[in-house]
Structure 1
Amino acid sequence: MDSGKFSLFSFTGKMKVLHLSWMAFFVTFVVWFNFAPLLQMVKATFGLTTQEVKTLLILNVALTIPARVLIGSLTDRFGPRVVYSALLALCSLPCFAFAFAESFIQLAISRFLLGFIGAGFVIGIRIVSEWFPHNELGTAEGIYGGWGNFGSAAAAFTLPTLALMFGGDEGWRYAIAITGVMSLVFSWIFYNNVSDTPKGATYFRPKHLTAMEVTSKGDFFLLLAMKIPMYGALALLAWKLSPSSVGMLSDLVVNVIYIALATLYLYEVSQVWKVNKLIFRQPVDEIHQYKFKQVAVLNILYFATFGSELAVVSMLPLFFLETFELSPVVAGMVASAYAFMNLMSRPGGGLLSDKFGRKSVLLFLTAGLAVGYLLMGQVNSEWPLWLAIAAAMLCSFFVQAGEGAVFATVPLIKRRMTGQIAGMTGAYGNVGAVVYLTVLSFVDYQTFFFVIAGTAVVGFVALLYMEEPKGQIAEVNDDGSVTLIDVAR
């Protein structure tokens, strides 16, 4: 830990690492969401159908679910500095490929691969946890998540202007390419200006990279159960591409994907067993135990918070346009109020967690989340527009503050596995988005908001079983000695 003062306007020590980390995350979100604001231009250039556009939007998030899990494991093994830098550099390639694509297939492949950059978020969670003590961790993680997440809104506001500056029908290509250059340049900046830990501190690595460690028999089976929704979401995405939906893939290809997903799950079960079979022979020493139910609860909460944010950001402009008969431009500007809340709400959730405790703040914010979406479900054309905007912003506060509170807790469970835990929790956010957007394709807006409120209630009940992080985490050094890391006062 760096014991220096928490000074937001400083650019030295731990604050330098924090600022460079949220900037890296910001760049990943600019790249990840660089297609949506330029969608109409891309559609016109290639003469895409509405179904093909929907396919590209689906492909943009498809790879992010497994990518977050994989990147979390790689971060724990090789360190955030190397992994973040490599991710930014490598993902600039499909970004350039998308910018200069000549066919729909090229667009689709590059968009699919770009989903990998959405995994960048989990890397910063680990590096921030290495530099900040527990009483500042929620605030620091909130700033990292909230300010970095704003990259999607920044892309929406700046990329159309950049495309117009270059002019012509091909201006969008140069706007997209610029985001690729940003990613490539910042990979070099990040690699040369951060370190994984403060000088003299130990970077604890997990014993295994292939599967998450658990410390009890019950947790073994809970881990296997919590893996199923991630595979289910990928199967749902495959169905969305099948002839039953957008029709990009044939029934044969979709069935092959289903079989591959089932096979991968069984393989993962074998890896989880290989890593954890010893717990069935002898108990883990109490000092090294952690409770996987903490991870499971945080997964459910991130499903409801970040999952709903991704889904609502996707549909809110259309909701305002249809409900209040606004122009597309005005509807987009009105809906952006939801995303703008990220700048303060997510850091606010982390700050509240540092001040008043993780569990109590999560309970308050999750209850507010449920009430917020119940309120959104009441919005109709008879409401004054300003009141509908206020309701959206109120709901957004609880959503994004809840995200901040979730990741104020994640690094306090087991230090050496922070990347793996963050990866799984982050993946659940994308699982939530896939589920909610699928629900939206079958129901009206009111029911959509009520479904999200219902999952928030499920999260609230699950939270009752989560224990407040307390005491210390024990990690073993290479020489066999044990380091105790404070997680609470």
Structure 2
Amino acid sequence: MKNLSKKATSIDLLSFKTPQMKAFHLSWIAFFLCFFGWFGIAPLMAVVREELDLTKTQIGNIIISSVAVTIVARLFIGWLLDKIGPRITYTYLLILGAIPVMLIGLSSSYESFLLFRLAIGAIGAAFVVTQYHTSVMFASNIVGTANATSAGWGNLGGGVTQIVMPLFFAMFVSLGFLDFQAWRFAMVIPGVLMVICGILYYKHTTDFPDGNMKDLYKSDAAFRKEKEGSKGSFKKALKDVRVWALFLIYGACFGIELTINNIAAIYYHDYFSLNLKTAGLIAGLFGIMNLFARSTGGYFGDKAGIKWGLKGRVWLLGAVLFLEGISLLVFSQMTVLSLAIGSMIVFSLLVQMAEGATYSVVPFINKKAIGTVSGIVGAGGNVGAVMAGFLFRSENLSYPDILWILGIAVTVISFTALAIKFTVKEEESAATELDFITESKAVLEPSFEMEK
């Protein structure tokens, strides 16, 4: 229980002093900015579509490109995290990822825009780093809440960008720039912020509560033995059916969120005849729910784990995903604007709760390969988005038709939670960890504590 004793057992929101809280705050801020850069162009697509004369099929290809490369990136980053740790990984991802974000303005054709959109998609791997870092910093009684909150506040960038990027665009227009110039300059802003965050991440975080991976490997014999003993865990994770069940499940929640982030603004613009700013504002409501919705899923995942063990976390996940599917079916049939907005908000709540509940399970699948498992499951979200993207390429299907099909798919996939089972030994190990936390006078029930 040596390593466990160094993990935080509560979240002190106003603290920036401990390694755990530095990692918590900088990881969600980093993911927020990556999400901002990743989907910064989405609310401006109506302008880009007009300038580059894009067809519906081409927009579908752009949607696919924005999430397709993230599949490979998340798998690679998950493996890399287990090798070099989150600090260096995030630093490089933020700084290198900022380059295509700032340079997409050089696009002058569909082909060049598609290539830049593809390159930008790699920064979606930031999610895996965020989940890894909070997983190794927080104890089992609070890890689901920590994971869900850091990811949820990061995902918030997807909602904020829907609102803010049209404002940046309007600002440049008001300064005298033409539309085709304004969207290009607007994309430079998130890129610059990513570079700044990369520098701060390198300077102010550590890989683990007690130091960086490279230093610990040299100075801590127990840590070195643990790392050497984890060899082969990558292949073991690949063979675990639970990992692939979570892969599908995450595709049915985060994959759907990515899809809605890509099409929400243009959906409201086309189907409800709204202007760019209004459509972006309404689309932003979907992402803004991340402020608390994903945290709620992680929080209840932790509570279910405390009360019913690891199987309780899985039961909650399956139930929330099933309700997500039903709510998407309802949203797809809404033709009145007020009802469409209301049903979208309910749908958004359940989507993000399912994401939080997923990553309240992930840290318990294989503790020797948390990065690998996080990467595989995270990649599932992008696979789901890519599959949905192919539907949006169809000239024969309307957006409401596609959303209905996706609702059916999510409902069916919710039953794959039945394949996620834990052995008696794994359940006992999780219970022992909770007992240790209790005996150490830690906070047993997940909660947010304001530092006094």
Shorter chain as denominator, the TM-score bin is: 0.7 to 0.9
Unaligned runs of 5+ in 2: 1-5, 217-222, 306-312, 438-452
Q: Does 1:49 align with 2:54?
A: yes
Out of 194, 212, 230, the position equivalent to 1:183 is 194
Q: CA RMSD in A?
A: 2.9
Q: Deviations over 1:267-320 (max 9, x none)?
A: xxxxxxxxxxxxxxxxxxxxxxxxx12212211111111111122333334544
Out of 9, 12, 37, the position equivalent to 1:7 is 12
Give the TM-score normalised by the residue count of structure 1. Answer: 0.74
In structure 2, relative to structure 1, the CA distance for the partners of 1:389 and 1:185 (3 Å cut) is: same
In structure 2, relative to structure 1, the CA distance for the partners of 1:35 and 1:205 (3 Å cut) is: farther
Q: For residues 208 and 248 of structure 2, what CA distance do their matches in structure 1 show?
A: 30
Paired position in structure 1 for 2:83: 77
Paired position in structure 2 for 1:438: 390
Paired position in structure 1 for 2:323: 368
Q: Deviations over 1:340-378 (max 9, x none)?
A: 211111000000011123122113212211221232244
- Corresponding residue SS for 1:415: coil
Q: For residues 136 and 2 of structure 1, what CA distance do their matches in structure 2 show?
A: 10
The higher-RCO structure (CA 8 Å, 6+ apart) is 2
Asked if the contact 2:67/2:118 (under 8 Å) is kept, the reply is: yes
Out of 446, 449, 454, the position equivalent to 2:408 is 454
Paired position in structure 2 for 1:289: none
Q: For residues 88 and 194 of structure 1, what CA distance do their matches in structure 2 show?
A: 14
Paired position in structure 2 for 1:397: 349
- Letter of the aligned partner of 2:330 in structure 1? L
Q: Shift in Å at residue 402 of structure 1?
A: 0.2
Q: Which moved more, 1:10-19 or 1:70-79?
A: 10-19
Q: For residues 260 and 93 of structure 2, what CA distance do their matches in structure 1 show?
A: 27
Out of 30, 55, 64, the position equivalent to 2:36 is 30
Q: Does 1:197 align with 2:145?
A: no
Q: Deviations over 1:119-159 (max 9, x none)?
A: 11101111101110011011111111110011122222222
- Corresponding residue SS for 1:134: coil
In structure 2, relative to structure 1, the CA distance for the partners of 1:140 and 1:438 (3 Å cut) is: same
Paired position in structure 1 for 2:114: 108
Asked if the contact 2:325/2:408 (under 8 Å) is kept, the reply is: yes
- Letter of the aligned partner of 2:235 in structure 1? E
Out of 133, 137, 153, the position equivalent to 1:147 is 153
- Letter of the aligned partner of 1:462 in structure 2? T
Unaligned runs of 5+ in 1: 224-291, 474-483
Paired position in structure 1 for 2:170: 164
In structure 2, relative to structure 1, the CA distance for the partners of 1:437 and 1:93 (3 Å cut) is: closer
Out of 234, 239, 246, the position equivalent to 1:212 is 234
Superposed counterparts of 1:59-458, under 5 Å: 59-101=65-107, 105-166=111-172, 167=175, 168-169=177-178, 170-199=181-210, 202=223, 205=227, 212-214=234-236, 223=239, 292-321=240-269, 323-357=271-305, 358-381=313-336, 385-440=337-392, 441=394, 442-458=396-412
- Letter of the aligned partner of 1:434 in structure 2? V
Paired position in structure 2 for 1:245: none
Asked if the contact 1:304/1:432 (under 8 Å) is kept, the reply is: yes
Paired position in structure 2 for 1:286: none
Give the TM-score normalised by the residue count of structure 2. Answer: 0.80
Q: Deviations over 1:241-274 (max 9, x none)?
A: xxxxxxxxxxxxxxxxxxxxxxxxxxxxxxxxxx
Q: Shift in Å at residue 191 of structure 1?
A: 0.6
Asked if the contact 2:63/2:262 (under 8 Å) is kept, the reply is: no
Asked if the contact 2:63/2:389 (under 8 Å) is kept, the reply is: no
- Corresponding residue SS for 2:11: coil
- Letter of the aligned partner of 2:197 in structure 1? F
Q: For residues 314 and 38 of structure 1, what CA distance do their matches in structure 2 show?
A: 10
- Corresponding residue SS for 1:97: helix
- Corresponding residue SS for 1:191: helix
Matched positions, count: 401
In structure 2, relative to structure 1, the CA distance for the partners of 1:305 and 1:388 (3 Å cut) is: same
Q: For residues 186 and 232 of structure 2, what CA distance do their matches in structure 1 show?
A: 38
Q: Shift in Å at residue 419 of structure 1?
A: 1.2
Asked if the contact 1:76/1:417 (under 8 Å) is kept, the reply is: yes
Q: For residues 332 and 48 of structure 2, what CA distance do their matches in structure 1 show?
A: 33
